[in-house]
Amino acid sequence: MTTAATLSIRCFDASDTDAVVALWQEAFPEYRDTTRPHRNPHLSIANKMATQPDLFFVAELDHRVIGTVMAGYDGHRGWMYSLAVDATQRRLGIGKRLVAHAEAALTARGCPKVNLQVLSAKEEVRAFYEALGYRADAVISLGKRLGAMADAAVPAAEAKEAPEATTSPFVV
């Protein structure tokens, strides 16, 4: 990979906000839909910064944010969210490196297993994760919106999908 020499993965910094929001809006079209307040990228960033901000990573190439991944660990299971890579930089191994970085951070915390969710309509995303060794668990994902999000209208098509499946295209 020609980008290996200058690609770095580091923790998110508040100064990355605009670049991350732009990346997510490109990678996750639902983040541009203002009728879906639970998909507000600014809120996602604020929530992550309030909970385990050291598990929010950006990939940077020549001082430009080109990828993200968020992870979380509750002491029982790890989770991975919002894996995104700039469309011009895909298929260069950056997503794979971001996943490995998040997995290493979770492993360092003693995490025995990492979970993620992929919208069932995103076949290419599922294939990406399967190539990295992820397999579908024999479980059904259930979800319930709480607080203000419970009152937000959820489109019927989304209600049929896995709840909050924001692991990106990358949801990734």
How far is residue 6's CA from residue 121's CA, in Å, rounded to a whole number? 34
Band (147; pLDDT cuts 50, 70, 90): confident
What would the pLDDT profile of 76-116 be if each residue is shown by its tens digit? 999 999 999 999 999 999 999 999 999 999 999 999 999 99
3-state secondary structure labels for all residues of 95-150: HHHHHHHHHHHHHHCCCCCEECCCCCCCHHHHHHHHHCCCCCCCCCCCCCCCCHHH
How far is residue 156's CA from residue 6's CA, in Å, rounded to a whole number? 44
Q: Using the predicted structure, report yes or no on whether residue 71 has a pLDDT greater than 80.
A: yes
Cβ atoms 95, 128 nearer than 8 A: yes
Region of poorest pLDDT, from 33-37, 58-62, 132-136: 33-37
pLDDT given at position 101? 98
Query: Could you tell me how many residues make up the chain?
Result: 172
Q: Using the predicted structure, report yes or no on whether residue 67 has a pLDDT greater than 50.
A: yes
Quick one: what percent of the chain has pLDDT higher than 90?
64
Quick one: what percent of the chain has pLDDT higher than 70?
83
Phi/psi at 115 (5° precision): -115, 155
What are the structural domains of the chain? 7-159 (3.40.630.30)
Q: Using the predicted structure, report yes or no on whether residue 142 has a pLDDT greater than 80.
A: yes
